[in-house]
Amino acid sequence: MSHESEQRGQGTSVVEVTNVSKHGFWLMLDGTERFLAFELFPWFREATIGQITEVELVEPGHLRWPSMDIDLALDSIDRPDEYPLVSKATTFAKG
């Protein structure tokens, strides 16, 4: 009798919003929970819960909220200090 392994399908990493508070929200992905504080991710502050929970993993390390047109790298969530929200202003001389 032959014992062949069943063919496995594609990976099914699911991203889920597990909680929302007045300070931010928590995402669960691949067994890791991450907190997105509204202070660090202000685009979500005025979003509805429906908009926040409509999150997709579009590729490894890349999340998208289509109804808000927001794309974030997981690295920017894990290390927000390395991804400043505001670029430094450049002064141009008037000519």
- For 10, 32, 78, 80, the CA distances from 59, given in Å and listed in that order, are 13, 17, 17, 20
Determine, yes or no, domain membership for 22. Answer: yes
Tell me the sheet residues that pair with 15.
Answer: 29
**What does the pLDDT look like over 5-59, one tens digit per residue?**
444 444 456 999 999 999 999 999 999 999 999 999 999 999 999 999 999 999 9
**Ramachandran bin of 86, using left for φ above 0, alpha for ψ from -120 to 50, beta for the remaining angles:** beta
* Number of other CB atoms surrounding residue 53 within 10 Å: 16
Overall domain count for the chain: 1
pTM: 0.74
Determine, yes or no, domain membership for 94. Answer: no
Determine, yes or no, domain membership for 89. Answer: no
- For 2, 3, 39, 50, 86, the CA distances from 46, given in Å and listed in that order, are 58, 55, 12, 12, 19
**What does the pLDDT look like over 46-86, one tens digit per residue?**
999 999 999 999 999 999 999 999 999 999 999 988 887 65
Domain carrying residue 72: 15-82
Structure tokens, 35: 């907190």
CATH of the domain at 22: 3.30.2020
Determine, yes or no, domain membership for 43. Answer: yes
* Amino acid code (one letter) for 50: G
